[in-house]
Amino acid sequence: MLRLATSEAGFAKAFARLVADRRESDDDVARDVSLILGEVRQRGDEALAEYTARFDHYQLTAEADWLITAEQCRAACDALDPELRAALELAASRIRAYHEAQRPADRDATDAAGVRLGARWRAVDAAGLYVPGGRAAYPSSLLMNAIPARVAGVDRLVVVTPTPHGQVNPLVLAAAHIAGVDEIWRVGGAQAVAALAYGTARIRPVDVVTGPGNAWVAEAKRQLYGVVGIDMVAGPSEILVIADGRNDPDWIAADLLSQAEHDPSAQSILITDDPVFADVVADRVAVQAAMLATKTVASASWNTHGVIIEVASLDEAPALANALAAEHVQLAVDEPEGLMNEIRHAGSVFLGRLTPEAVGDYVAGPNHVLPTGRRARFASGLSVLDFMKRTSFISLDQAALQAIGPAAVALAHAEGLPAHAQSVELRLK
Q: Mind telling me the catalytic residues? A: 327-328
Ramachandran area for residue 333 (φ above 0: left; ψ -120 to 50: alpha; else beta): beta
Q: How many CB atoms lie within 10 A of CB 28?
A: 9
Distance CA 64, CA 345 (A): 46
Strands (DSSP E) contained in 161-293 are: 183-185, 208-210, 229-230, 238-243, 267-272
DSSP 3-state assignment of 281?
helix
Q: Beta strand pairing status for 67-68 and 183-185?
A: antiparallel
- Classify residue 113 by its DSSP letter: T
Q: In angstroms, what is the C-alpha Rg of the chain? A: 25
Sort 334 into a burial class: Cβ within 10 Å, 0-12 / 13-18 / 19+. exposed
In angstroms, what CA-CA distances link 85 with 148, 176, 182, 240? 20, 12, 20, 31
Cite the beta strand spans of 283-426 per DSSP E: 307-310, 328-332, 348-351, 388-395
Q: How far apart are CA 361 and CA 347, in angstroms?
A: 12
Question: 281 and 250 in contact (C-beta within 8 Å)?
Answer: no
Dist. CA 265–CA 301, nearest whole Å: 6
Give backbone dihedrals phi and psi of 207, rounded to 5 degrees, phi first.
-100, -30
Q: Count Cα neighbours of 127 within 13 Å in the Cβ-side half-sphere.
A: 30
Contact 396, 117 (CB under 8 A): no
Measured CA to CA in angstroms, residue 234 lies from 177, 213, 230, 409 at distances of 26, 8, 10, 45
Are 176 and 211 contacting, i.e. CB atoms less than 8 angstroms apart? no
CA distances for 17 relative to 30, 233, 240, 272, 329, angstroms:
24, 22, 16, 20, 20
